[in-house]
Amino acid sequence: MHSGKIVFSQVMEYLPLKDFHRCVDRYDGYRKVQSFSCLDQFLSMAFAQLTYRESLRDIEACLRAQQMKLYHMGIRSDVSRSTLAYANETRDWKIYADFAQVLISIARDLYAADDFGIELKETVYALDSTTIDLCLSVFPWAHFRKTKGAVKLHTLLDLRGSIPAFISITDGKVHDVNILDEILPEAGSFYVMDRGYLDFERLYRMTECLAFFVTRSKINFGFRRLYSHPVEKETGVQSDQTIVLTGFYSAKDYPDKMRRICYFDTEREKDLTFLTNNFALPSLTIAQLYKCRWQVELFFKWIKQHLRIKRFFGTSENAVKTQIWIAISVYVLVAIMKKRLKVKESLYTILQILSVTAFEKMPILQALESSRYRTQEGDTHNQLNLFG
């Protein structure tokens, strides 16, 4: 019988604790803390994510039932609803946002060589947002509509490994295109976006930073064709043109040349028109890059289904952002563990196994690689797009 660490503790061993304490120090997280530390708070909330707890009462009941194992989990204080609620309300959410960025940096290095379906050396990002609906009377700070509240999760997803490289949490009224002001474009990288991000002034800023964008065009924008390039229509590409903008304001905002590609999607029987500032890649590759944008939609669907970010343990802005950032940290932490242990199971399967073995004393590889878990996942086949 294995008499070592419990499974939950083995997962948490992948946390870079020195970096965590630096994040806490940065925002004075230890100020007026007597017993329930920021690490205790993080581990309690991480436990809630891994085991699908639905409320503070749920967390308290489960952890008190395993009181003798709290020390082995790394939790050095008793966990109560009031203490955890107070910590979520008062301790700066930026502690956990910064720590999530530390984990993201580690994960991106681990997944840097992964394939995402297109043979391309450059980094490719997909940018999009998802809305999490809230009750306006309970969350009055989450402005969205007159009778409805919401927060938006703006995400820049690195397609190699489906790791979020940038995340911004705002209220529901913030338009997607404004997030481009917060992103520092990386030279040589590709940014794939839908037409909600079509703002020529901001796109030209990307061009000046030597970054590439791929986006959908709107119907009513004015342009003049300069050149037409040969295409193979059997691939679905109908035209490949070099254009300049002719609208007074759009031409002023984007004075350079642009590439316009018309593509017919045979699966959906739909005509699509793409705009890009990259003139080197084949036109079909540009269309395939835009198709890869769907991975960010799968990411949003996945985290909403398998992480606790739709029901919140607190109603303040700080509590909501704390919960979301810790959820993202858990997602990335499990991705790091999967890569380092070379586990072949999908992320979905790993989380399901961890949810029922958190308090077991057994080697984590034995839990994750046991053949009895290798079953058909039914309707969850889309989850296989995230980490295999």
- Does residue 38 have a pLDDT over 90? yes
| Backbone dihedral region for residue 136 (phi beyond 0: left; psi -120 to 50: alpha; all else: beta) | alpha
Note the pLDDT of residue 156: 96
- Each as own residue / partner, the long-range contacts of residues 18-22 (CB below 8 Å, 24 or more positions apart, any chain) are 19/99, 19/102, 20/99, 20/102
> 132 - beta bridge partners?
151
Tell me the H-state helices in 189-279.
Answer: 200-208, 248-253
Nearest Cα neighbor of 47 from 77, 69, 73 is: 73
Which 3 state secondary structure label does DSSP give 134? strand
Q: From CA 186, how far away is CA 345, in angstroms rounded?
A: 32
Q: Which helix (H) or strand (E) holds 239?
A: strand 237-245
pLDDT value at position 31? 84
Helices and strands per DSSP (H, E), number in the chain: 14, 10
Bridge-based pairing state of the strands 270-276 and 258-265? antiparallel
Q: What tens digit of pLDDT does each residue of 347-382 get?
A: 888 999 999 999 998 899 888 876 454 544 444 444
Partnered with residue 106 across adjacent β-strands are none
Q: What angle do CA 181, 186, 188 make, to 5 degrees?
A: 135
| pLDDT score, position 94 | 96
Output the CA–CA distances (angstroms, integers) from residue 241 to 38, 64, 204, 214, 270, in the order listed.
55, 66, 18, 14, 19
Query: Token pair of 247, please?
Result: 């609208």
Residue type, position 132, single letter: I
Tokens for 257, please give them: 């040349």
Does this model's pTM top 0.75?
yes
Amino acid at 256: D
- Where do the structural domains in the chain lie, given as residue ranges? 7-96+330-385, 195-281
Other C-beta atoms lying within 10 Å of the C-beta of residue 13:
11
Question: Which residues fall within 8 angstroms of residue 173, CB to CB, at 6 or more apart?
Answer: 143, 144
Mean pLDDT confidence for 91-99: 96
pLDDT exceeds cutoff 80 at 80: yes
pLDDT at 383 over 90: no
In angstroms, the CA 157 to CA 45 distance is 24
Q: CA 4 to CA 1: how far, in whole Å?
A: 9
Lowest-pLDDT choice from 66-80, 86-100, 154-168, 236-250: 66-80
For residues 154 and 129, the answer to whether their CB atoms sit within 8 Å is: yes
- Tell me the three state secondary structure of residue 167: strand
Q: Which two tokens stand for residue 54?
A: 């639905």
Which pLDDT tens digit goes with each residue over 261-310?
999 988 888 999 999 999 999 999 999 999 999 999 999 999 998 888 98
Chain mean position to CA 388: 16
For 385, phi and psi rounded to 5 degrees?
-70, -15
Is residue 166 within a helix (H) or strand (E), and if so which, with residue range? strand 163-171
List residues bridging with 260 in a β-sheet: 241, 275
Per-chain mean pLDDT for the chain: 90
Region 311-324 average pLDDT: 94
Q: 98 or 348, which is more confident?
A: 98
Structure-token pair, residue 18: 């020195």
Place of tokens 């309970």: 138
Percent of the chain clearing pLDDT 90 (strictly above)? 71
